[in-house]
Chains A and B, each alone.
Chain A
């Protein structure tokens, strides 16, 4: 069934402005992949929701619970959207979890909070975003211009950023004392928590950026065939650097969201989030080798994982069982993805 979706879709998603001349082939695979697999993901999510409703009843199917799921999905979602760009561009970023932790710590130091109190809470947000972006750009420079393998460069950042966060925080919890910051981000707009709005905005922005802009086309081109992209006039190095900067920015945003959720900065925040993000991206249908990416798939991947945890908790089942289910989902998704990829090449 899935193969039909894959091959038979002259999807409108391809009709964007022509940015990168080389993008023809990668673009075609993108079309086929995303819409077909997205339907599979939607189905998986629906099945999960049905299970949740049958076992949890009203407790699952309440607006309150829906908002809880979305709120919990928000930080990981933003992180994963940044990760989608990096992976689509043929890279990987293992540092996003640590960078997110560092951002929460830096934004809650006494100095930052004093400034925020004297001036405006936006200082905390700006600090978090700046820290995230800076870490991302450092990754990008090392990888693009220093020719360090992405896996190693971001592994180094993962360890380094975590250590720096521990040094700054002295391994202690830093509570958010700026009430206005919490009040703003904990508010609801039209009955929907601010965090969920942020998630939606980032997702929409990410989708537009990837599917409707030159930047997105170039990302796909660089990931699909960097040499061809270079010959076609794309500044591959600079573009790669931007991609990591973008992932860092996303980590900064996720850090702000985490601060809102936990009301404290901590060097332990974001542990293993990089792996959750990679899992969500891959499950969503983005090719790990690059050249094809889908924001919609990533969002669905994140929602599936978050809903899974929610449903398991509703049924009072253990973390271990959740991990098994998560593992199965990842394997099945990647197996399917390989089949799609093989067929894509065959046609």
Chain B
């Protein structure tokens, strides 16, 4: 686990708001007036599912710090957080300049502590390195929300919002199983990101677990490096290694540009491809349906936005309205949904530019 703290989704992961929390709030907002029984979500156990969570409350000052926006996904993290904060008149967001310098990020948090903010939403460059200062903030009575890269101590954050790399692999593998419909001889290829990263290993593990569930294995596996050029090189060789392929999962939509270039230049189209992270151009291309790209699995870039919402709830002493229990949960792990042509319109607005 500690390994997961230090590294983390480096790039190209994407956005979408499937967290229970966000979904729940939106839903509650829509139904609060008079809840027509229509599709009656099972959640309505209480006689009147009314939530005042979005109503104006005491002003909450939230400090926000994240690594430098050096790839599309990370850029979307900060912009989604800002956009979320603007929806609430009672939230005052202070955004620190994104940095990959651990000591600078620590001093940003120290400044927030001195300023006596109510809450800090922190996507640390290195979870372990920021644990101590986050603990200090908690000790000072500040609500700390940890996003994406976990701290190494449970005392360093009130609530942690995480993506699910293993789940991405599972979603991709399960989708491919369904699409291949029990063809036991199917050739499935995998184009991973940087192999030494725990997140890549988690994704691959989830993928192979899901495939073995329907009797398939990864026939050919190559690793690129999250860059376009790495994706192109790995794929060009992969296509030579496997003259006939039924399905490909590519871990990362950024390197996917290169993957598609290689497929295009080899003139191959006997397979379908599933992407990873969910960039806007990948979703456009799924929507257009004019390439081998048939689906992508999402790694939400709205995690920090979720963190903002949860921080506000916690500081105002509210609970998540779609949960029966009181108090915002300790940890929220987001779902990695499969985006296909059918549901792409739902996800396109929250996709990030790679």
Contact = CB atoms under 8 A, between A and B. Distances in A.
Contacts of A59: 240-241, 243
Nearest to B219: A316
Contacts of A65: 240
Contacts of A71: 236, 265
Interface residues of B, number: 39
B71 A319 contact: no
B306 interface: no
B241 A173 contact: no
Given A261-B265, A262-B228, A316-B220, A173 B237 contact: no
6 contacts: A175-B257, A261-B258, A262-B231, A264-B258, A269-B228, A316-B221
Interface string A48-74: 000000001001101011001001100
Nearest to B238: A313
Given A72-B233, A173-B228, A316-B221, A263 B240 contact: no
Contacts of B223: 318-319
Interface in B210-226: 219-223, 225-226
B195 A268 contact: no
Contact of A269 (B222, B227, B239, B261): B227
Interface in A262-317: 262-264, 266, 268-271, 309-310, 313-316
A347 interface: no
B276 interface: no
A77 B297 CA distance: 36
B353 interface: yes
B339 interface: no
A277 B344 CA distance: 42
B70 interface: yes
Contacts of A270: 229
A320 B240 CA distance: 20
B265 A72 contact: no
A64 B267 CA distance: 11
Contacts of A261: 229, 232, 258, 261-262, 265
Interface in A4-61: 56, 59-60
Interface string B55-95: 00000000000000111100100000000000000000000
Contacts of B52: none
B205 interface: no
A2 interface: no
A140 B307 CA distance: 51
Given A261-B258, A269-B227, A319-B223, 19 more contacts: A60-B240, A68-B237, A71-B236, A71-B265, A72-B236, A171-B69, A175-B281, A261-B229, A261-B262, A262-B231, A263-B264, A268-B228, A269-B229, A310-B237, A313-B237, A313-B240, A314-B240, A314-B241, A318-B195
B261 A271 contact: no
A313 B241 contact: yes
A338 interface: no
A22 to B, nearest CB: 41
A23 B257 CA distance: 49
Contacts of A166: 70
B331 to A, nearest CB: 30
A186 interface: yes
